[in-house]
Chain A
Amino acid sequence: MLSIKNLHASVEGKEILKGINLEIKAGEVHAIMGPNGSGKSTLSQVLAGNDAFEVTSGEVTLNGENLLELETEERAREGVFLAFQYPVEIPGVSNIQFLRTAVNSMRKHKGEPEMSAVEFMKLARETSKQVDLNPDFLKRGVNEGFSGGEKKRNEIMQALLLQPKLAILDETDSGLDIDALKVVADGVNALRAQDRAILMVTHYQRLLDHIVPDYVHVLAGGKIIKSGGKELALELEERGYGWLGIDEDAAK
């Protein structure tokens, strides 16, 4: 499904990703762990098409299609979804209006009829219950005044509504209390499907107790320095990153 080969990317002239190689097949869940500043969010943003980051070399394909040639909105329509580590607040655009516009953009792309306001409201209310968000949130500005945990649940809600092929979850577990973690994990598990790939960035084993990954990778200094099965996460939990030959906060 997703194939990343020797990907290099930089921001403001500074190289952050220094040759990433990663293959994810349909139906698989991959976890990426690694010290702060190692480039996990950068990788996520590059995949989603944030042009604040410059791809200097390498290639990324989704089901054989060259992602790097597509605009952000085209990637989204091809099924790329990024749950942001820090979702932005957009006062003045209501959450419901934003969600409906997004869903209808996808439907239009697939040649399906757009959903009416009433029809969508029903769907949105159901989905918001699934992530345990009060439907009142739909009326508020996008992420406006949402707590950290509410923002994360709103990201998962979007993933559920948009049904992506590739869901990239950037620390969707951080800042969550135990109940919210369970809710988010249930949401992610609901997304698990034969035809869908999930890439999860996380710092904690506790998420992986709920969402058991097929593979775990360690990203450090802009490269994947180790890959393994779910046991690797347990080992990291126990031993930190030191034994891999890097500092806890080695980044640059």
Chain B
Amino acid sequence: MNPQATLSGAFLQSAGSTLPDALKTMRQQRATALADMPVPTRKTENWKYSSRHLQLDDSLAGTLVGGSSNTAFHNGDAYRVVIRNGQLDLDASELPDVSGVEVLAFRNLEDADAAQLAERLDNTLDSKAVQFARLNSARFEDGLLIRLAKNAVLDKPLFVFCENGGDKAGSAYPRIYVEAGQHSQLTLVEEYTSVGEAQALVNTVTEFSLADGANITSVRLTIEGQQTQHIGATAARLQANARFESHCVGFGGPLRRHDLRVCLEGKGAECKLNGVAVTQGQQHLDNHTVIEHVAPHCESEESYRNIAADKSHAVFNGRIHIHPDAQKSNANMSNKNLLLSTGAEIDTKPELEIYADDVKCAHGATVGQLDEESLFYLVSRGIDRKEAGTLLSMAFINELIEQIPVEPVRDAAHARLVRFIEQSFEGA
């Protein structure tokens, strides 16, 4: 691809939609501003490992439609919202009726609410650094707005099932905005799955704005098909004493990219970011995280693990930026990687930028293989190699999976990971 190439005009045509005027106007402005967005290349620092997996063919520019759903959405004891190709399906949803909690579709917002949202969208992320969040802002056709009043607590987790795909190539732009009032609490589970057979580009943005003392747990699963490229972003902005906890579980694909950005903006804010990613075959998965310690006395704890099999490629780039005023920051980042074959590749890059002097900051990254001695111990008990390898691989990530706080999601993630990893050992 020519290095100067900008995003094809075809991607800047937002489909007519039923959005309120304020949001339509905002979207149009974003689209205009996007006209000069360079398509990432090998020379684009934050895309250097992933740009060659990016396929932005014009055939993907149109909005995905159709694609019949076969998913029996696992429910557990939870509320649920279904988003199909970026459009909320309220009939298939089960919304909470809890005081102080509003779960709304962008398309149904009153003018005043829409105008307020148009002001706030994008304000949790630095859209220059997350190129594709800009594309989402120019293209979303609906979205999920969750507003929690002061002290509101959603009593059960809210599952958001994002199904994308169709019978004809295209793209989808799911969008979520969470406005959490002071001391409010929410557990949000996003699950991205594929339907249909056609080539798809799924470009997501989920934003969390946490007022003082708000507490949000976010779980994000991407288990999409091999016809789907996924480029997603999650951003959280925390005021004083707010807490944000994130659990991401990603399964490989032709391209899986997730940017996670957390800004600790108020004193005493705290975040915990866990991530597990698995890849096999020729798959490619790339996690980029950034934690901004802006205010003093904030804590961040980050742990990401990757398992790469066959000829797959996993990337982790984790940046911690401690601003000059962020004294007494406490930041801990770890990235561990397991290579299941000599043909697999892992690139890990922790980056620390520290401009305050009174901080505690630690980071570590390792890349290793299965322990031969452990493997021998297991097979010497009659366990076959595939099962032994799966047990040891799961042992590598179990610690993080066990921390997923929603039981049915944790169990489902665990079972899927086992199946995926077993496949990695088949015929090996």
Contacts and interface: CB of A to CB of B under 8 A. Distances in A.
Interface of A: 48-50, 52, 71-73, 75-77, 81-82, 84, 87-88, 90-93, 97-98, 101-102, 105-106, 109, 141-142, 158, 162
Contacts of A158: 381
A76 B382 contact: yes
Nearest to B399: A92
Interface in B339-393: 371-374, 376-385, 387-388, 391-392
Contact of A93 (B379, B385, B395): B395
Contacts of B376: 50, 52, 72
- Nearest 8 pairs of A and B residues by beta carbon: A92-B395, A76-B382, A102-B381, A105-B382, A73-B379, A72-B379, A93-B395, A88-B377
Given A90-B392, A90-B395, A91-B395, A73 B383 contact: yes
Contacts of B379: 71-73, 76
B382 A77 contact: yes
Contacts of A52: 372, 376
Given A88-B374, A90-B377, A109 B382 contact: yes
A157 B387 CA distance: 21
B395 A84 contact: no
B396 interface: yes
Given A98-B391, A101-B391, A90 B374 contact: yes
Nearest to A109: B382
5 contacts: A75-B380, A76-B379, A88-B377, A92-B398, A109-B382
A72 B395 contact: no
A76 B382 CA distance: 5
A76 to B, nearest CB: 4
A101 B378 CA distance: 9
Contacts of A48: 380
A82 B385 CA distance: 17
Contact of B385 (A49, A73, A88, A92): A73
Contacts of B387: 101, 105
A87 B395 CA distance: 17
B394 interface: yes
Contacts of A93: 391-392, 394-395
A227 to B, nearest CB: 27
Contacts of B399: 92
B382 A73 contact: yes
Given A92-B394, A92-B399, A105 B380 contact: no
A127 to B, nearest CB: 14
A77 B391 CA distance: 19
Nearest to B395: A92
Contacts of B380: 48-50, 72-73, 75-76, 81-82
A243 to B, nearest CB: 36
A135 B334 CA distance: 34
A147 B78 CA distance: 44
